[in-house]
Structures are given as structure tokens and as C-alpha cells.
């Protein structure tokens, strides 16, 4: 296969570091052209010294001198600031961009990469949550593939390979249920961030782990799935699967179903996305069915975990509503991690923003940007 020259946006995070593990194991297939980080200068320097990209970006301008001093002797270009992210994805030497930035920050660089004709390995679900219609239309116009990295969407995509001509009846996104599966609202009133950060199956960054605990992560995945696979809300179902072995399923019009299974290891969907259409050999742990004699499923609790319902409501309403939910949630999670609001108050904050932020039925990119700003202002007032 033709060598992939990668720009990894967010290389020091959980997805970014695991992507570099995949790259290191396949040096004949992947080459790193760009690495970026927000604040983790030390790890960025370490990664750059090892993988020797052409360019690194440290978004925090206060850290530029430190990174420059370390990497300039290695003949690695160093840029800083958010605008640099938009520029580096357009580099001619890059042919695939892996977007692993956290939250809304991934939108503008991903849009820039699509406009430049770069294929996207998308680990930043918020890009499609915030502006799914705009992003998917841009991708079609520029003949760019958007390959999902999230384990659930990768599972759906893998189930559809060879089936793209067959209509989907529905998809079933699986959720682990997080650390608070089965708990009621009285219990959740007093939970701490330490409890919420203890995910039973997956090792992830703080923001996505809290989202998983509140089921907002699954809600965002519902919205992302709509745009990735061209679905209507009634074609998307969520089921709680505590073992996290079946990553998601597709049901076709003849009633048959396909499921993609495997151990909870994010390197598998990362490798599938950046190596597609080939399945690359790996030394990842293999599944032993004897260790999982029972796979169970249950319905999600929409009354206790209200964020999941908000996501389906955003799909029905359309417009900029998903953008509102995403911005409100980012503020809510940050406040919860600072011990400024309680676990259940995150949903209260989101609902408040859904009611009060100006609704735009057919938003432009500028409308999305303004909606994000307006929502964050209102959410901070709530905090």
C-alpha cells in the first residue's frame, strides 16, 4: 500500500499516543509529518525527537520557546498558536490527518484539512456533532474520506464494508454504561470526579471519561453516527453492553445483523482507520471467549442519564442545537472537574442552554462559531 504521511493533531493525548504506537509498529507504512499538542510540551518534544516530523505545533504560545529550543537543533520546524493548526494540515507532504483534538477545537482544523483534500481519520466526534451537515457536504465536494476512529463508529463501518450497496435498517450503538450503570439520581447527587473518572473498561482522557459516565459520550456518538452513515434518528438505537466486547451492530433490511467484536483496545480502530482498506497485522492481545462466557444487554436509563435524550432531541430539532449541546457540555464537564458543579447539574446546565441560546435553523460555519461562543458565555454564567 502507498505510504501514509500523517498529521496527528493532539499527539500527546490518549488517541494520539496510541496512534504513534501503531506508527512505530508499521514504519514501512506510516510516516509522521506533523505532531501537535496544546500544553504537554515535554511529551511533544519526546515524540518529535523519536519520530522526526517535519513540523510540530504547540498551541500554547507560552511554551513555544521551550519547544523551539529543544527541536530546532534537530531541524524540526516549530510553530505556535491555534491558527498554525489550520495551516499545517494543508501541507503538501501530508495526505492523511488524524484529528484527536478534544472537543470543539477539532472543527476548524478538520474543515481546513478537508478543503485541502486530505483524508480524515476522525477521533474528534465533536467535529460532526457541531457541524455535521457542513462537514459531510465539504467532504463529498472535495472527494475526501472521513474514516471513523471511535470504536463504535469503526465497528459500524467495518460491518458495512462490502455492504455499502445494501440499505441499513438500523444501527445499534453499544455503551458500557460507565461507572454509574444502574445507579439512581439520589446516588448521583453526591458522586465525585474521582468516582466518575474510574471507567470500568476503557482508558481515556478525563473529558471523554466524564462524558462516558454521564452517557453524553454516547449521545455525541448518536449524532456523529447520523452524519457518518446518513441515518435518521429512528434508525439509531443505543443498548448498554457492560462487557464492551461487541462494539456496535448493523441490522439490514432482511433482518440479519452484523456485529464487530474484540477486546476494548483503541489501537484496533485507530489502525483500521489509518490503514484502510487494508487490515494490518498486529500483536495486540487476542480475545479468549472462555473469559467472556456471558455477554449481556440492557436498555439505557434515559430518566437518570438525561444527556442521551438531549442528543436524540438535537437530532430531531436539527439546526445548531447539537452545537449548543456540545458547547454547554464542554463547559459543564470542565466545571465538574474543577468541583464547581455536581454531576447531575451538568445536565441542568445543558438543558438551560438548549432553552436559551438563539436557535438557527440553517446555520453557516460562522453561525456555528457564534453559537459556540454564545453558549459558552451562558453556560459560564450558570456555573
pTM: 0.92
Task: Flag the least confident range among 79-83, 140-144, 272-276, 357-361.
Answer: 79-83
- 3-state DSSP assignment of residue 94: coil
User: Does residue 377 surpass a pLDDT of 90?
Assistant: yes
- Give the DSSP letter string of 97-134: EEE---GGGGHHHHHHHHHTT-EEEE--THHHHHHHHH
- Residue-wise over 107-124: b if at least 16 C-beta within 10 A, else e? bbbbbbbbbbebbbbbbb
Angle ∠(347,352,357) on CA atoms, nearest 5: 130
Residue keyed to cell 511554551:
63
pLDDT at 8: 98
pLDDT tens-place string over residues 47-58: 999 999 999 999
pLDDT at 200 over 90: no
Examine the pLDDT at 203 and tell me if it is beyond 80.
Answer: no
pLDDT in tens, 116-149: 999 999 999 999 999 999 999 999 999 999 999 9
pLDDT band at residue 102, thresholds of 50, 70 and 90? confident
pLDDT of residue 252: 97
| pLDDT score, position 204 | 74
**Mean pLDDT throughout 61-83?**
96
> Does the pLDDT value for residue 201 go beyond 90?
no
The mean of the pLDDT values for the chain is: 96
How high is the pLDDT of residue 309?
Answer: 97
pLDDT in tens, 314-343: 999 999 999 999 999 999 999 999 999 999
Structural domain spans, the chain? 4-148, 153-265+289-305, 318-383
What's the confidence (pLDDT) of residue 181?
95
| Three state DSSP letters for 184-245 | CHHHHCCCCHHHHCCCCCCCCCHHHHHHHHHCHHHHHHHHHHHHHHCCCHHHEEEEECCCCC
Percentage of the chain beyond pLDDT 70 is 99
Q: Specify the fold of 4-148.
A: Rossmann fold (3.40.50)
The reported pLDDT for the residue numbered 95 is 95
pLDDT at 254 over 80: yes
Give Cα 355 to chain centroid, integer Å. Answer: 26
Which fold, 318-383? Rna Polymerase Sigma Factor; Chain: A (1.10.1740)
Question: Torsions phi, psi of 300, nearest 5?
Answer: -70, 155
Whether pLDDT at 82 is above 90: no
Q: How many CA atoms lie within 13 A of 167 on its CB side?
A: 6
Amino acid at each position: 500500500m502507498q505510504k501514509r504521511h500523517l498529521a496527528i493533531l493532539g499527539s500527546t493525548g490518549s488517541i494520539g499516543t496510541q496512534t504513534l504506537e501503531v506508527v512505530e509498529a508499521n514504519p514501512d507504512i506510516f510516516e509522521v509529518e506533523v505532531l501537535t499538542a496544546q500544553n504537554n510540551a515535554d511529551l511533544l518534544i519526546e515524540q518529535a525527537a523519536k519520530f522526526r516530523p517535519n513540523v510540530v505545533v504547540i498551541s500554547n504560545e507560552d511554551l513555544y520557546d521551550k519547544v523551539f529550543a529543544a527541536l530546532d537543533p534537530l531541524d524540526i520546524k516549530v510553530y505556535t498558536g491555534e491558527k498554525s493548526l489550520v495551516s499545517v494540515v494543508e501541507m503538501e507532504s501530508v495526505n492523511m490527518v488524524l484529528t484527536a483534538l478534544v472537543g470543539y477545537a477539532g472543527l476548524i482544523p478538520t474543515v481546513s484539512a478537508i478543503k485541502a483534500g486530505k483524508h480524515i481519520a476522525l477521533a474528534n466526534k465533536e467535529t460532526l456533532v457541531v457541524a455535521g451537515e457542513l462537514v459531510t457536504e465539504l467532504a463529498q465536494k472535495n472527494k475526501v474520506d472521513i474514516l471513523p476512529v471511535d470504536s463504535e463508529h469503526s465497528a459500524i463501518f467495518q460491518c458495512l464494508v462490502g455492504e455499502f450497496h445494501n440499505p441499513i435498517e438500523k444501527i445499534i450503538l453499544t455503551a458500557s454504561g460507565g461507572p454509574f450503570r444502574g445507579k439512581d439520581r439520589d446516588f448521583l447527587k453526591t458522586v465525585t470526579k474521582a468516582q466518575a473518572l474510574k471507567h470500568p473498561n476503557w482508558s481515556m482522557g478525563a473529558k471523554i471519561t466524564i462524558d462516558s459516565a454521564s452517557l453524553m459520550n454516547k449521545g455525541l456518538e448518536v449524532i456523529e453516527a447520523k452524519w457518518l452513515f446518513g441515518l435518521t434518528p429512528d434508525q439509531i438505537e443505543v443498548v448498554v453492553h457492560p462487557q464492551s466486547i461487541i462494539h456496535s451492530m448493523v441490522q439490514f433490511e432482511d433482518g440479519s445483523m452484523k456485529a464487530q467484536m474484540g477486546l476494548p483496545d483503541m489501537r484496533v480502530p485507530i489502525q483500521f482507520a489509518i490503514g484502510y482498506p487494508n487490515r494490518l497485522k498486529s500483536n495486540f492481545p487476542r480475545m479468549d471467549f472462555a473469559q467472556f462466557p456471558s455477554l449481556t444487554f440492557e436498555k439505557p436509563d434515559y430518566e437518570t442519564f438525561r444527556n442521551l435524550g438531549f442528543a436524540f432531541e438535537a437530532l430531531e430539532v436539527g439546526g445548531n442545537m447539537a452545537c449548543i449541546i456540545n458547547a454547554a457540555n464542554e463547559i459543564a464537564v470542565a466545571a465538574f472537574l474543577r468541583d464547581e458543579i455536581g454531576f447531575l447539574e451538568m445536565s441542568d446546565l445543558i438543558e438551560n442552554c438548549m432553552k436559551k441560546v438563539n436557535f438557527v435553523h440553517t446555520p453557516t460555519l460562522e453561525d456555528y462559531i457564534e453559537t459556540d461562543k454564545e453558549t459558552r458565555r451562558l453556560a459560564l454564567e450558570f456555573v
